[in-house]
Copies of this chain bind each other. A is one copy, B any other.
Amino acid sequence: MNFVSDNVTGAAPRVLEALAALGESADAAYGTDAESNAAARRIADLFEAPEAVVFLVATGTAANALALAALTPPWGAVLCHEEAHVNDDECGAPEFFTHGAKLAGIPGAAGKIDPASFRHALTRFPKAVKSVQPAVLSLSQVTEAGTLYTLAEIAALSAAAKDAGLKVHLDGARFANALVALGCTPADMSWKAGADVVTLGLTKVGGLACEAIVVFDPVLAETLPYRRKRGGHTLSKGRLLGAQANALLADGYWLDLARHANATARRLADGLAALPGVRLAWPAEANEVFPILPAAMDARLRAAGFAFLPWATGSLMPGDTIGADERLVRMVTSWATRPDTVERLLSVAAQA
């Protein structure tokens, strides 16, 4: 009944089993244990990037903020969509970890930046000491609007960023959902498309608290051991993180979990869109659905016990507006969303 986010559930069964199986045996502390080392190797393999340096941390906020801090000086600018999670939902963590870099929000429909608006944004920052200097382009895949960049779109934006001397960060809080939706490989969606650093989300897809910072060029990773420790993100019993990552990534388990979430979202999106008076603000391309509901339907669903968030945005499709008796809401599915719950929601929604 809870469609508030994909972080409201516990962890997927194999993750809990892996944690339960952590015995009392001694291992190295501070992220150098066998589980963490194995997870790092596994992730590098998964990305077909043997040189990649991987840092496990417990939260997406930490992963994003540390990744950005590795890529920008304090007088740099991080260009991102104006509604990006790093800009709006992390209480300034990127500013904290970067020691005050500026996040420059770029508008764009459906949560996406297009190359023209990115290039225009760059003109705000002349090559003069009075101006902060653009240092990073941060893309969210899945976007805040539940949409996806195509691989070609990522590549085009990355190329424009590289031309301007910027590094590219990919906020992959829902990386797995994007991956199965696009049917591509992790390498395709990251370094092959120009990303320098990826925040690989493993919490929403089925972990309890596990994210990985994946840095493809080891030179860019050099400061991160210190930044992570200094940020209090180097767990003494690192196996907690390693075990989650290994459980999720083994045998494509994380992709199975993501496929379930995406399929459930698809059913939810299709079912809602078929109802009179309902339309989708944006195409539901991963595991998030943003329907615009008649106010009465919104109220009816809430009265029936369904939980989901009202949503505010400046990123509607061109020409679209939310009417006074309409409600834009966000519904998120996860590995744990049951199909019958979705059907129940659709059935309540359909009651006129």
Using a CB–CB distance below 8 Å, which chain A residues touch chain B? 1-2, 4-5, 7-12, 16-17, 19-20, 22-30, 57-63, 65-66, 73-75, 88-93, 95-103, 123-124, 129-133, 203-204, 208-209, 223, 225-227, 229-237, 239-240, 307, 312, 335-336
Contact = CB atoms under 8 A, between A and B. Distances in A.
B100 A234 contact: no
A9 B30 contact: no
A261 to B, nearest CB: 12
Chain B CB count within 10 A is highest, among A7, A28, A227, for A7
Contact of A59 (B9, B132, B203, B232): B232
B20 A91 contact: no
Contacts of A235: 58-59, 209
A interface secondary structure, majority: loop
B226 A91 contact: yes
User: What 4 A-B pairs are tightest by C-beta distance, nearest first?
Assistant: A62-B232, A2-B26, A95-B100, A7-B236
Nearest to A87: B102
23 contacts: A8-B29, A9-B26, A11-B24, A16-B20, A58-B209, A61-B229, A61-B232, A61-B234, A73-B223, A75-B226, A75-B230, A88-B124, A88-B131, A89-B130, A90-B232, A91-B130, A93-B231, A95-B102, A98-B100, A99-B99, A99-B100, A208-B237, A232-B233
Chain B CB count within 10 A is highest, among A2, A95, A232, A233, for A232
A336 B24 contact: yes
Nearest to A227: B75
Given A75-B226, A231-B96, A8 B26 contact: yes
A29 B7 contact: yes
A163 to B, nearest CB: 20
Chain B CB count within 10 A is highest, among A90, A229, A307, for A229
Given A129-B91, A312-B123, A25 B10 contact: yes
